[in-house]
Amino acid sequence: MNAPAASALLKQHLIDPVICIRCNTCEETCPIKAISHDSRNYVVDPEICNGCGACLSPCPTGSIDNWRTVPKAQAWTLADQLGWDELPEELAIADAGMPAETADADGFAPPPLDSARGSTIAPASAATPTINLYTIRQPALATVAGNVRVTATESDSDTHHIVLDFGSLPFPVLEGQSIGIIPPGTDGRGRPHHARQYSIASPRDGERPKYNNLSLTVKRVLVDHAGQPVRGVASNYVCDLAKGDQVKVIGPFGSSFLMPDDPKANLLMICTGTGAAPMRGMTERRRRRMQDGDGRLMLFFGARSQAELPYFGPLSKLPSAFIDINLAFSRAPGQPRTYVQDLLRERAADIAGLLGSDQTHIYVCGLKGMEDGVLDALRQAADQHGLDWTALHARLKAEGRLHLETY
Ligand code: NAP
């Protein structure tokens, strides 16, 4: 059999279903809509993917960075990929007449596109994160050390603060990273549930210093995006955990949404609902370890009402000299609907002051829908105060100073 010409080969882009935490980042990042998903797997269309690499660095786990050299005619279809529990082995291209190492396959040509709206790298001074220490095949076992509701009992939003203890198992994390929880049981097709990702809400030295633990902020899902009743598998499992229960955990994940290890850095934190989790971790890190620097902390936090705002009580106790807190309530009785971006506009002069400083790092976490509004409000603040937002936005991204994590 004659060797296939290099042009008959494809370096096929694939996503590893064992490591993928189904966070949707790749699908959102792909500039040409080559990535899609079903209830189980994220997959790459070989007919569309041009190997541009835009999706690679935003992926928190590295599951996106998998490639197999295949004859183009034998590329794995979307149906093949949706059925996988794990990636297939690399094909022995020699079987098709060409040694794999000499194959010059298509698929990598263009350089990565700069399509991301936020940074894909960490701040220069951030500590080095550990990722993928525990996997679906080898999860860590954590014990529930606490589970308390952090929204008012009269509100419909049942949000919990869960503390997981790893005992003697090493589980090093940084503020802004996330973990995956594997719910017990199987899905509708009889396969084990895939892991769900949650941001860590505590600082690197633990929810309780000197204990090997971390915390999460999880809202019980009882309706889907269309408002139809649904019982979220993982969120209900996590919110119902009792002290002493054991939980399978994978991760940690995330290597860019990290805080600067620099007390002079300003942190502009903008979040909605449970998107407050990483802001809590970063704020607590600054409170415990870095109060001596002159960096400013400014928080914009949105919820439907005070009763639905996670951690309202503890937040109200933080001194204003330490953190400048701005709460936006969208459904407070008798008040106009206010979103975080409305408050950013109200505080435009202070925001512009922060934007003008090279020490400022911006973090946005929460609902996907807030991204446009928040970036618009930042642009307006810059425009009103003589800053060139287009140039500034590019610089913030390139310097690892603008981080967006929205779902
Ligand atoms: P939520 O209660 O649904 O919403 C919080 C607030 O955001 C409400 O006041 C809501 O107003 C407002 N809002 C809606 N659309 C907005 C927009 N376009 N711009 C600005 N504000 C807007 O929030 P949630 O249920 O807690 O959900 C938080 C999101 O964060 C989820 O999508 C979650 O996946 C994500 N997240 C969670 C974590 C975590 O660790 N748990 C980490 C990262 C991200 P109205 O409803 O009145 O319109």
For ligand 1, the distance from its centroid to the CA atom of residue 274, given in whole angstroms, is 7
The model's pTM is 0.86
Closest atom of ligand 1 to CA, residue 331: 47
pLDDT tens track of the chain, all 407 residues? 344 555 688 999 999 988 888 888 899 889 999 999 998 899 999 999 999 988 988 887 888 989 999 999 999 999 999 999 889 988 775 444 443 333 344 544 444 445 578 998 999 999 999 999 999 889 999 999 999 999 999 998 999 999 999 999 999 999 999 999 999 999 888 888 989 999 999 999 999 988 999 999 999 999 887 889 999 999 999 999 999 999 999 999 999 999 999 999 999 999 999 999 999 999 999 999 867 778 999 999 999 999 999 999 999 999 999 999 999 999 999 999 999 999 999 999 999 999 999 999 999 999 989 999 999 999 999 999 999 999 999 999 999 999 999 88
Q: Which of 160, 218, 257, 367 to mutate to test the pocket of ligand 1 (most atoms within 8 A of CB)?
A: 367
Q: Going by C-beta distance under 8 Å and a sequence separation of 6 or more, which residues neighbour residue 217?
A: 150, 159, 160, 161, 198, 199, 201, 274, 276, 277, 280, 310, 311
Question: Could you write out the DSSP letters of every residue in 280-306?
Answer: HHHHHHHHHH-TTS---EEEEEEESSG
Extents of the domains making up the chain: 6-102, 140-253, 266-406
266-406 folds as Rossmann fold (3.40.50)
Residue 27 belongs to what H/E stretch? helix 25-29
Which top CATH class is 6-102?
A: alpha beta
For ligand 1, the distance from its centroid to the CA atom of residue 55, given in whole angstroms, is 24
CB 395, CB 361: distance < 8 Å: no
Distance CA 175, CA 290 (A): 14
- 140-253: in CATH 1.10.3720.10: no
Nearest by Cα to 160 from 79, 77, 97, 240? 240
Q: Which of 178, 223, 274, 300 to mutate to test the pocket of ligand 1 (most atoms within 8 A of CB)?
A: 274
Let me know if the fold of 6-102 is the same as that of 266-406: no
Sequence-ordered alpha helix ranges (H) in 98-145? none
For ligand 1, the distance from its centroid to the CA atom of residue 301, given in whole angstroms, is 10
Distance CA 329, CA 11 (A): 49
Residue 396 belongs to what H/E stretch? helix 389-398
Closest atom of ligand 1 to CA, residue 159: 26
